[in-house]
Chains A and B, each alone.
Chain A
Amino acid sequence: MGEDIEIETKNLNLWYGEKQVLKNIDLKIPEEKVTAVIGPSGCGKSTLIRCFNRMNDIIDCCRIEGKVFIDEKDIYDKRTDVVELRKNVGMVFQKPNPFPKNIYENIAYAPRIHGLKNKKKLDKIVEKCLKQAFLWDEVKDRLSESARSLSGGQQQRLCIARALAVEPEIILMDEPCSALDPMATAKIEELIRYLSKDYTVIIVTHNMQQAARVSDYTAYLYIGELIEFGSTKQIFENPREESTENYITGRFG
């Protein structure tokens, strides 16, 4: 592949209670590129990316074996500071979930709880993140309005800006456009391509064309196993595995 590796999983297995959801995943995510994770419903895509910021910890019956290395440190090691990890690995969810506060507070919340109290610095961060998320021009005059007054697409961009506020290296996106209309989707896709210059982006999507448009690398999961990983060009033009071919041509799943 020739790229630097940001995240590496070794023999990652995950169970929800008795049910095994991820099987022996060995995956290398390249740095500062967009990697798409595709596969049929229920194949474990969301579960996989939630391993990268340990959001699976909040589910009681979840058990994990194997290692996940970020910057060559195993994040499931007992000594890992989960709060620091989640600062470094941001997440954007399927349904936009801005806090029921105003726009400014949504973004200022995270830096504030991590210790930044200086108002001028917070103002700067809010402006920077909203600009990075292509949202500044639309909201700069109404930062004190409720975040709920924004449209769905704007709310999602706000959530992205919120994730950027703590300066992560990695951004996880779990089907970020599935609740949005085509125009809002196009804006977010443009934003993703722009973000990949500075951040490592991992996006879960069940929209094949979106994965082809937006990503540099693609991983295909089927029933918890990693079937194929490669450059997006190769996967969508000439996949190696029959299962991959069947999935992306819509012959099943």
Chain B
Amino acid sequence: MKWKKIKEHIIYSLLRLSGLFIVCALAILLLYIISGGIGKISWEFLTSFPTNGMMSGGIFPMIIGTLSLMVLTMVIALPIGIFSAIYLVEYAKPGRFTDAIRLAVHNLAGVPSIVYGLLGLGFFVVFLGFGLSLISAAFTLAIMVLPIVIASAQEALRAVPQNMREGALALGSTKWETTRHHVLPYALPGMLTGSILALSRAAGETAPIIMTGAAFYITHLSSSIFDEFMALPYSIYTLATQSSNVEATRPTVFGAILVLLLIVLCMNLVAIIARNYYRKKYRW
């Protein structure tokens, strides 16, 4: 039936078109940013402080701010997330407590980031008295990425075949020995890659950090985690929308966006490379 063949062709073309659309969208985005910002990228730009109301100089403190925030968030989120996942997959008995945990994790994942910002402000900044600081922002972001960390950690743990655990238990291993020697080594790579991917999304979050510690302009690097800090997303936002001289600051904005994108890209690449390396090392 010739009509059927024509229909096949049409549908195939439509599907390819949508794929093409995605590629084009990304290409346009990248081209726009790269063309606007590549001129600004230089060693000086990356390592010097902004000057002249951000119209010239570099974005060094924002880079440091974003990177320190990521590290701190990871330090808080990873252990909690991984241990929660281990509890949920290996230890939890079916019951109301376990159901409550699972429900909590699911709901946390759906909360809008601005709400996290409010949470961070109310709890960490005011109630606990950390003030607007790196640590408040890190805690807020940590809670935000926790559901994703837990989800990917659970997946990694579940991917370990049950007969590994049974083999260890049958030899007289305790539950923890089994988990530690026979499950974690093989789940850890998957857990890490999942967490890095979660963090790379958090790197670009603006709303939560605005309300918990990101500052528009400080003259020096924060000396402790209880200080305010500068971060790329917030600086990009303020430069793009509230600058006194939009023309002059535009190159800085593009440069900062490009740097942020590169940071995220690098994190994703690290995750992919790590995953491939560990996949080869720990073959089932």
Q: Which residues of B contact A84 (CB under 8 A)?
A: 172
Say yes or no: is A97 at the interface (Cβ < 8 Å to chain B).
Answer: yes
**A92: nearest chain-B partner, CB-CB:** B170
Q: Is there contact, CB below 8 Å, between A83 and B283?
A: no
Interface residues on chain B, number (Cβ under 8 Å) = 22
Q: Does A90 contact B (CB under 8 A)?
A: yes
Q: A99–B166 contact, CB under 8 A?
A: no
Q: What are the residues of chain B within 8 A of A131 when measuring CB–CB?
A: none
Within 153-194 of B, Cβ neighbours of A (below 8 Å) are at 161, 163-174, 177, 181-182, 186
A159–B174 Cα gap in the complex (Å)? Answer: 19
Which one of B169, B174, B181 lies within 8 Å of A58 (CB-CB)?
B169
**Which residues from chain A contact B186 at a C-beta distance below 8 Å?**
100
- Nearest CB on B from A202, distance (A): 14
If A97-B164, A100-B282 touch, does A91 touch B170 (CB 8 Å cutoff)?
yes
Q: Is B93 an interface residue (CB 8 A)?
A: yes
Chain B's nearest CB lies how many Å from the CB of A125? Answer: 13
A162 touches B172 (CB 8 A): no
Minimal beta-carbon separation of A22 from chain B (angstroms): 20
Instruction: Please determine whether A114 and B164 come into contact, CB atoms closer than 8 angstroms.
Output: no
* Chain A residues with CB below 8 A from B94, complex form: 60-61
CB <8 Å contact, B167 and A86: no
Using A95-B163, A97-B163, A100-B282 as known contacts, say yes or no to A86 and B170 having CB atoms under 8 A apart.
yes
Taking CB atoms, residues of chain B closer than 8 Å to A45 are: none
Residue of A nearest to B173 (CB): A113
Residues of A within 8 A of B170 (CB): 53, 55, 86, 90-91, 93, 163
Nearest B-chain residue to A87, judged by Cβ: B172
Return the chain A residue nearest B167 by Cβ: A97
Alpha-carbon gap, A53 to B284, bound state (A): 26
Beta-carbon contact of A97 and B166 below 8 Å: yes
Give Cα distance in the complex from A166 to B168, angstroms.
Answer: 12
Docked pose: A55 CA to B93 CA in angstroms:
16
Q: Within residues 134 to 158 of chain B, which ones have a CB less than 8 A from any CB in chain A?
A: none
How far apart sit A136 and B176, CA to CA, in the bound complex (Å)?
Answer: 31
- Please encode chain A, from 71 to 104, with 1 for each CB lying within 8 Å of some chain B CB and 0 for all others: 0000000000001111100110101011110000
Q: Which residues of chain A from 55 to 77 have any CB-CB distance to chain B below 8 Å in the complex?
A: 55, 58, 60-61
- Given A83-B174, A109-B181, A113-B177, check contact A100 B284 (CB 8 Å): yes
What is the CB-to-nearest-CB distance from A47 to chain B, in angstroms, rounded to a whole number? 14
The answer to whether B167 and A93 touch across the interface, beta carbons within 8 angstroms, is yes
CA distance A83 to B171 in the complex (A): 8
Q: How far is the CB of A203 from chain B (nearest CB, A)?
A: 15
CB contacts (< 8 Å) of B177 on chain A: these are 113
Instruction: Select which of A60, A91, A100, A162 is within 8 A of B93 by beta carbon.
Output: A60
Nearest to B281 among chain A residues (CB) is A100
| Smallest Cβ-Cβ distance to A58: which chain B residue | B169
A110 adjacent to chain B (CB < 8 Å): yes
| A28 contacts the other chain (CB 8 A) | no
**Alpha-carbon distance A109/B284, docked complex (angstroms):** 18
Q: Answer yes or no: A206 CB below 8 A from chain B CBs.
A: no
Question: B282 and A159: CB pair below 8 A?
Answer: no
A148 at the interface (CB under 8 A from B): yes
How far apart are the CA atoms of A137 and B282 in the complex, in Å?
Answer: 27
Residues of chain A within 8 A (CB-CB) of B93 are: 60
- Whole-angstrom distance between the Cβ of B182 and the nearest chain A Cβ: 6
Shortest B208–chain A CB gap in Å is 38
Contact with B along A156-198 (1 / 0, CB 8 A): 0001001101100000000000000000000000000000000
Contacts A97-B163, A99-B182, A148-B283: A166 and B169 contacting too (C-beta < 8 A)? no
Q: Is the CB of B173 within 8 A of A99?
A: no
Minimal Cβ-Cβ distance residue in A for B92: A60
Most buried by B among A55, A87, A113: A113
Apart from the given pairs A93-B170, A163-B171, 10 other A-B contacts in the complex at a CB distance below 8 Å: A58-B165, A58-B166, A60-B93, A60-B94, A83-B173, A86-B169, A93-B167, A97-B161, A99-B164, A110-B172
Task: Tell me the A residues contacting B by CB distance below 8 Å.
Answer: 53, 55, 58, 60-61, 83-87, 90-91, 93, 95, 97-100, 109-110, 113-114, 148, 159, 162-163, 165-166
Offer 28 A-B interface pairs, CB within 8 angstroms, sorted by A: A53-B170, A55-B170, A58-B169, A61-B94, A83-B174, A86-B171, A87-B171, A87-B172, A91-B170, A93-B163, A93-B166, A93-B167, A93-B170, A95-B163, A97-B161, A97-B164, A97-B166, A97-B167, A98-B167, A100-B164, A100-B282, A100-B283, A109-B171, A110-B173, A113-B181, A148-B283, A162-B167, A163-B171
